[in-house]
Every structure is written in C-alpha cells, then in structure tokens.
Amino acid sequence: MRSLLTIKRYYCKAMKNSCGSDFIFDTNIYSGLNPKILHDYWQIFWTQKQLHQKSFFYSKEFWRSYFQSELNSGRPLQYIVNQAPFFKSEFYVDERVLIPRPETEILVELVAKSCVNGQYQKIAEVGVGSGAPLISLLQEWGPQNAVKIWGTDLSVDALEVTKINLAQKKYLFDQSMVEVNLSKGDRGEDLPDGLDLIYSNPPYVMSIDRLSRQVRDFEPKMSLLVPEEVSYLDWFKVFFKRVCSKLRPGGEFWMEGEYDQWDSLSQILNQAGFNQMTIHKDLTQKERFINAFKHE
C-alpha cells in the first residue's frame, strides 16, 4: 500500500489549483509557519478525508472550513492531521501523546550507535509515548541478532498509540529479529531486571511557564512536567534508582533532559549507582542528553 505521503504527493500534482495558501493563521501561535508547509498539511488532511468512507460524503468546502476552525483554535497541525514527521518516517499522533520533537531524533541516533557497538540484546524505553523513537531506533539500528525491547509508559492511552504505530510501521524493521513488549508502569517499575540499555525522554520541563501556549493547551502535561506533588529532583532520584536497579552491571543509560539541570542530575545519577557520565548537545548547542553506565 502506498504511504500517505505518496498519496499526498499525487494529490498535490492532481490538484494544483487547490493551493490552501489562503488559510488564515495566528503567527504568534504558529510561529515561523511557512504557507507551503500549511498547504502540505491541508493536502494530507484532505487526502485522509477522501480515503475515509464516512468523511467522503462531506464536501471539500466543509473540510476546508473545519481545517480553518482547527487553525483558529491553535491546535497543533500534527494533531489536526494525526501525523507527525520523525526521523525517517511519519507517525500517527493525537492528543494522547506528545508530538515527537527533532531533538529526540538525536537521542535515537545516539542510542542506535551504542546498540551497534555494544551488541545489546535487551533494551527498554521508559516513557514510550507515541512509539516513534522506539520504532525509529529499530529502523536505524537494524539488529542482526534476536533482540527484546520493552516500551513502558504510565499512560495507557499512550500505549494504545504506540500499538497503532507498531501496526502501521512494522515494515520498517525485521520483525523476525525483534520482540516488542509494551506495559504500563511508573518510571520503569514494570521492567525486567538485567537489561543491557535503557533510554528515556522523561517529563523534564522545570515549569509550565517554559511552555508555549499551544503546548500548554493541547499536549499532555504528564509527558512534559514532573507531577506537582513531588519536587523535581526527588522525582528523578526515584527514577534513576529504579533505572539502575533494572540494568545489569555495566548497563548503559541514555536520557534527554533540561539543559540547565545537568549539574544536579549528574550528582543524583552518581548517587544512584552510575558513573562514566558524558553530556551531549542538541542542534542548538544546548546540553540536551546524558549518557551513563551502571557501576560494574
């Protein structure tokens, strides 16, 4: 079956006069949005409606008005079309999961390099969300030996979205080499012992004030912010101890985090039983990722 992007390109050629550039949007909300990108999202949205049997009975003008009303609300484009680009593919997303970010693509690349070098066979992601990083890791890594990978999340809704993406993107990796296990749990409590590597993009934003209005209004706060009833550092103390307990001696840990919190978080990692810590930067040169190993 052709991918949605392939179908979208077809319709872009077949419907040249349907530009979509006349949509009105708030530049304060959709900061830096190029009208050409908006046109592409409209084409994806319109193609989806044409392919959906029940939606087919509504006119194109109806769906244009609906698309405009969604823009007026400030809803992220990725949620409007239920699709977000990430790494080398596009993934299903809705309000149950965080929209995957470009910086997390770097985390996938870093973890994939570790997997190739370490010949790991038991790996886990804590906070699997949409499943986009997990599936992209398997695509980039391309394991040559049988591996088991666990994806855990506190949100049952997020796990359901992961299942959707695993079903849609199963062609991206060799299923005969990979066993994927999904489960509900808080900070990896449900993971087995003796893992080779754990990676995570946990909720790490220090304050809701650091979030844009669009993110605050539409994306799941549990994926972004540490729960209010516990302090920021205390939350990570539990997290790091739990991760360390699930790794084998010498096991590897990767995490995406807040660029201005590494001094405190590094100390907590060390107290939890980690050493050999290194910080890696994102594309904006902010210190975004940490790598550490459990004491032998």
Q: For each of the domains in the chain, give its residue range(s) and CATH number, in order of start.
A: 4-81 (no CATH), 102-294 (3.40.50.150)
Neighbours of 255 (CB within 10 A): 24
Q: Tokens for 296? A: 């032998």
Q: What is the pLDDT of residues 228-257, one digit of tens each?
A: 889 999 999 999 999 999 999 999 999 999
Q: Please state the separation of Cα 281 from the chain's center in Å.
A: 18
Least confident of 2-11, 69-78, 98-107, 138-147: 2-11
* CB atoms closer than 10 angstroms to residue 27: 8
Cβ–Cβ < 8 Å for 23, 38: yes
H or E element at residue 126: strand 122-126
pLDDT digits (tens, 9 = 90+) for 191-208: 999 999 999 999 999 888
Average pLDDT of 115-129?
90
Our measurement of the distance from residue 148's CA atom to the centroid of its chain's CA atoms, rounded to an integer in Å, reads 20
**Radius of gyration (C-alpha) of the chain in whole angstroms:** 20
- Asked if 254 and 111 count as a contact pair (C-beta separation under 8 A), the reply is yes
Cα separation, 243 vs 241, in Å, equals 6
pLDDT tier for residue 31 given thresholds of 50, 70 and 90? confident
| Tokens encoding 287 | 């210190």
Res 165: pLDDT: 97
Rounded to 10 degrees, what is the CA torsion of 286, 152, 114, 117? 180
pLDDT of residue 56: 67
Pairing assessment for the beta strands 287-294 and 195-200 based on DSSP bridges: unpaired
Is 212 in a helix, a strand, or coil? coil
The β-bridge partners of 225 are 205
Residues comprising the chain, all counted: 296
How many other C-beta atoms are found inside a 10 Å radius of the C-beta of residue 160?
Answer: 14
Element (H, E) at 61: helix 60-73
Element (H, E) at 248: strand 247-256
198, 123 Cβ separation under 8 angstroms: yes
Cα separation, 119 vs 89, whole angstroms:
25
pLDDT score of 135: 97
Give the tens place of pLDDT for each residue, 171-192.
Answer: 999 889 999 999 999 999 999 9
**pLDDT score recorded for residue 110:** 96
| Strand 178-184 relative to strand 89-91, pairing | unpaired
Mean local confidence (pLDDT), 270-279: 96
Q: State how far the Cα of 132 lies from the Cα of 111, in Å rounded to an integer.
A: 14
In the predicted structure, residue 17 carries a pLDDT above the cut 90? no
Residues in CB range of 123: below 8 A, 6 or more apart: 115, 137, 147, 148, 149, 150, 195, 196, 197, 198, 199
- Summarize the confidence of residues 72-91 as an average pLDDT: 93
Report residue 70 as tokens.
């969604």
Q: How far apart are CA 104 and CA 212, in angstroms?
A: 18
